[in-house]
Amino acid sequence: MPSDPIDVHVGLRIRQRRALLGMTQTALGQAVGLTFQQIQKYEKGKNRASASRLYEFAVILDVPVEHFFEGLSNSEFAKATRSTGRLPRIDPQIVSTKRETLELVRAYYKIRDSRVQEQIVNLMRAVALASGRRSSRRREP
């Protein structure tokens, strides 16, 4: 039986936050009294997280419970459910985060000097802008 798309979304958000913190599935499991295999099932949406379990995850992962539902549009779900009688499928790539991105964010938050953080953000913006300009020049004949 396929997993419910909302359970998949919540699981991906749990995995994303855990990875962002550099926490292993084993460490998260120990914090809430589960095995890493059970954490894997939650993260894949195979196990549905109860309200109390979501609250535990939120406390351990230091986010509000709403964090796990960010990215879900109520109107999109309502419209799709009315027209088809089923919930829409969620593309895991939409809420998935590349490991490199997580590593960059972790490294950024390890920097204690806010001025250095600001300089890094400005550098990244400049690189992105320059990269966009180069790619648009290549497309012109």
Domains and CATH numbers, the chain: 5-96 (1.10.260.40)
pLDDT value for 95: 47
Euclidean distance between the first and the last CA atom of the chain, given in angstroms as a whole number: 51
pTM of the model: 0.62
Q: How far apart are CA 28 and CA 43, in angstroms?
A: 11
Q: What is the mean pLDDT of the chain?
A: 81
Q: What is the pLDDT of residues 79-130, one digit of tens each?
A: 545 555 555 555 554 445 567 777 788 888 888 899 999 999 999 999 988 8
In terms of pLDDT, which residue wins out, 131 or 28?
28
Quick check: 68 pLDDT over 50? yes
